[in-house]
Copies of this chain bind each other. A is one copy, B any other.
Amino acid sequence: MSALLDKPQTGYELTRSIDTSLGFFWHASHQQVYAELKKLEAKQWLQGESIQQQSKPNKIVYRLSDQGRAALDQWVLKEDGKQRTTKDELLVRLYNLTDENAPHLAKQIRIRLTKTELNLQLYEKIKRNYYQNPETLDTRKTGIYLALMNGIEDAKLTKVWCYKALDLLAAKGLIEQESTINPQT
């Protein structure tokens, strides 16, 4: 719903946003997104509008209703905020590090590194384009800026951590030496 504040969107677009920019603080599959949109429409918090397209599948654009906006405003003020939850299978796997599985886990770390670098580029592009100097932003954009900064810092951290992790594994002789152009250690 928060993602629909700025502009009405389709389930497909929301899913893509989650896969790219929003993923670091909210995750959902496309099936879940579509199911959730229907539920919210049934609650009258969203209104869906079918759009016919030529040479492309038809789509449904959802927009936040007045009731939805009110419900969202109330939700923001709730006292008992759920704390952040994370599930990171890679870190769990690392708890089981052995001489045998080290190369495999290193590969997984490299995959994470690549994905994180792509994410980071995207976030920094968004920042450059819309949130360059935080002093001039209006209230709502300030909030988005703060979330974005969290994502950027998180991605940077992950990147550095991946490099350090690969370095340590290499130093211990558990994997082949990396071509380590290790930035800001």
Interface check A26, CB cutoff 8 A: yes
Contact B140 A87, beta carbon cutoff 8 Å: no
Q: Which residues of B contact A154 (CB under 8 A)?
A: 154, 157
What sequence of 0s and 1s flags, for each residue 135-163 of chain A, a beta carbon within 8 Å of any chain B beta carbon?
Answer: 10001101110110110011001001100
Contact A27 B101, beta carbon cutoff 8 Å: no
Q: Which residues of B contact A174 (CB under 8 A)?
A: 139, 142
Contact A96 B115, beta carbon cutoff 8 Å: no
Take A24-B86, A25-B91, A73-B101 as given contacts and tell me if A171 and B135 are in contact as well, using a CB distance cutoff of 8 Å. Answer: yes
A interface bracket (residues with beta carbon within 8 Å of B): 35 or more
Contact B105 A93, beta carbon cutoff 8 Å: no
Contact B101 A77, beta carbon cutoff 8 Å: yes
Contact A86 B89, beta carbon cutoff 8 Å: no
* Minimum CB distance partner of A98 in chain B: B139
Out of B94, B135, B169, name the residue touching A144 (CB < 8 Å).
B94
Out of B77, B87, B115, B157, name the residue touching A25 (CB < 8 Å).
B87
Say how far A7's CB is from chain B's closest CB, in angstroms.
Answer: 13
Copies of this protein chain in the complex:
2
**Interface SS majority for chain A:** helix
Contact A72 B96, beta carbon cutoff 8 Å: yes
Interface check A16, CB cutoff 8 A: no
Say how far A137's CB is from chain B's closest CB, in angstroms.
Answer: 8
Interface check A43, CB cutoff 8 A: no
What sequence of 0s and 1s flags, for each residue 52-81 of chain A, a beta carbon within 8 Å of any chain B beta carbon?
Answer: 000000000000000000001101110001
Given contacts A91-B146, A97-B143, A149-B164, 11 further A-B contacts (CB under 8 A): A2-B95, A72-B96, A76-B93, A83-B115, A84-B89, A91-B147, A94-B146, A94-B147, A97-B139, A134-B168, A139-B174
